[in-house]
């Protein structure tokens, strides 16, 4: 399987699943010197992990077995401390403050790519590879070429959304062997390459550290018990009338319908009501009808660009606010003053549903990933005049 014409060394992040296993095997087949690395993050420490967890003891055993099968070394890297400080703690803090964080972006940027690239350089590896469905390439810029990331060839598996925080400087060091494949093709490759142990394995879930308990219970167990975010409070309609009582803001997110209680349906004439905003200062939950979830503007925090020549004020590009969600054309404006130091305001050509504080606004130019920002608030979502 391994070519005699050697290529550079590549450090492959191996979760023990079929995707990263096939990525490692394909790189071996292409002649790279492969080193496997599984990150010890969270899932297997104290509680039984979800069977879909990405870093359980079983997952480590599977990754090690694949490395032995293919004949390359495998190591376990203990990233549990930075995972706690850079991913878990900001996630918990965000939920307690009334937002819905997207921790996968930070995990990818800080750990799965940032620290892992440093680790690769320390052991003499030229590249880091993962089983993400995304494509790496180049675009013309001036008289030269600029490294860039692109959506996967098949939209149903595209994972570029989760990589918007990855630093531009490390893009030349990244390899994504699965960017042109479908999931069925990857499973077929696993069978062809003799990786039967992982060929039919379940996919890992998005929030590997949460499991079946749900994120509110996780936050409560992580020190949130007794916090104001778990205290009951009023459910208010768009005019401010009390229509019910919530069970703690940490248990809700924008766009949610389940868990509001049937009695509040009378406030809308029987039409379904959805969460339109969390108001932690008043410990209140705002609700409205489906049309009141639509927003044509949003405000973000600081911007992160993977392009050295990002859009200028007033220029348009595509924005996506949810993994596998729709994209719409947006125009970019400074949030304050003449630059983007404080973030931006996005005006949308078509409304987006449930623009959620704490989530990601990810920017694209055709198939190219440009960068992104964290959403701070929607503008015009619902009809109550309130910022956060």
Determine the Cα–Cα distance for residues 233 and 211; give it in Å rounded to an integer.
27
With b meaning 16 or more CB within 10 Å and e meaning fewer, what string describes 132-145? bbbbbeeeeeeeee
Catalytic (active site) residue 107: yes
Please list, in sequence order, all residues whose beta carbon lies within 8 angstroms of the beta carbon of residue 5, skipping any fewer than 6 positions away.
Answer: 31
Q: What are phi and psi of 117, to 5 degrees?
A: -65, -40
Instruction: At 27, list the tokens.
Output: 């790189």
Extended strands (E) in 221-359: 233-236, 242-246, 274-279, 284-288, 294-305, 316-320, 327-336, 339-353
The 3 state secondary structure assigned to 102-163 is CHHHHHHHHHHHHHHHHHHHHCCCCEEECCCCEEEEEEEECCEEEEEEEECCCHHHCCHHHH
Among 28, 43, 104, 107, the one annotated catalytic: 107
Catalytic residue flag (residue 54): no
Radius of gyration of the CA atoms of the chain, in A: 22
Residues forming the active site: 107, 208
């Amino acid at each position: 399987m391994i070519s005699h014409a050697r290529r550079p060394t590549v450090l492959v992040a191996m979760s023990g699943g079929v995707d990263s296993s096939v990525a490692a095997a394909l790189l071996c087949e292409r002649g790279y010197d492969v080193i496997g690395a599984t990150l010890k993050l969270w899932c297997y420490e104290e509680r039984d992990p979800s069977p879909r967890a990405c870093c359980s003891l079983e997952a480590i055993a599977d990754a090690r077995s694949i490395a032995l099968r293919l004949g390359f070394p495998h190591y376990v890297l203990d990233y549990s401390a930075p995972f706690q400080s850079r991913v878990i703690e900001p996630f918990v803090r965000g939920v307690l403050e009334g937002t819905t964080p997207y921790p996968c972006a930070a995990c990818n940027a800080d750990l799965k790519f940032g620290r892992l690239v440093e680790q690769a350089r320390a052991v003499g590896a030229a590249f880091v590879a993962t089983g993400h469905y995304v494509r790496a390439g180049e675009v013309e810029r001036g008289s030269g070429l600029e490294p860039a990331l692109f959506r996967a060839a098949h939209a149903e598996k595209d994972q570029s959304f989760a990589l918007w925080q990855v630093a531009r400087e490390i893009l030349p060091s990244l390899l994504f062997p699965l960017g042109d494949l479908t999931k069925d093709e990857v499973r077929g490759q696993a069978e062809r390459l003799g990786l039967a142990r992982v060929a039919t394995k379940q996919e890992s879930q998005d929030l590997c550290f949460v499991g079946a308990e749900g994120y509110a219970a996780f936050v409560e167990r992580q020190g949130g018990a007794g916090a104001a975010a778990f205290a009951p409070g009023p459910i208010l309609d768009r005019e401010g009338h009390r229509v019910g009582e919530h069970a703690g803001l940490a248990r809700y997110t924008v766009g949610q319908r389940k868990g509001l209680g049937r009695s509040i349906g009378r406030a809308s004439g029987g039409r379904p009501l959805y969460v339109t905003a969390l108001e932690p200062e008043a410990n209140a939950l705002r609700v409205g009808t489906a049309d009141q979830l639509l927003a044509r503007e949003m405000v973000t925090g600081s911007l992160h660009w993977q392009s050295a020549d990002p859009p200028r004020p007033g220029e348009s590009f595509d924005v996506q606010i949810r993994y596998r969600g729709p994209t719409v054309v947006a125009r970019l404006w400074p949030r304050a003053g003449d630059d983007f130091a404080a973030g931006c305001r996005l005006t949308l050509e078509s409304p987006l549903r449930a623009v959620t504080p704490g989530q990601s606004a990810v920017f694209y130019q055709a198939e190219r990933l440009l960068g992104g920002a964290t959403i701070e608030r929607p503008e015009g979502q619902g009809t109550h005049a309130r910022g956060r």
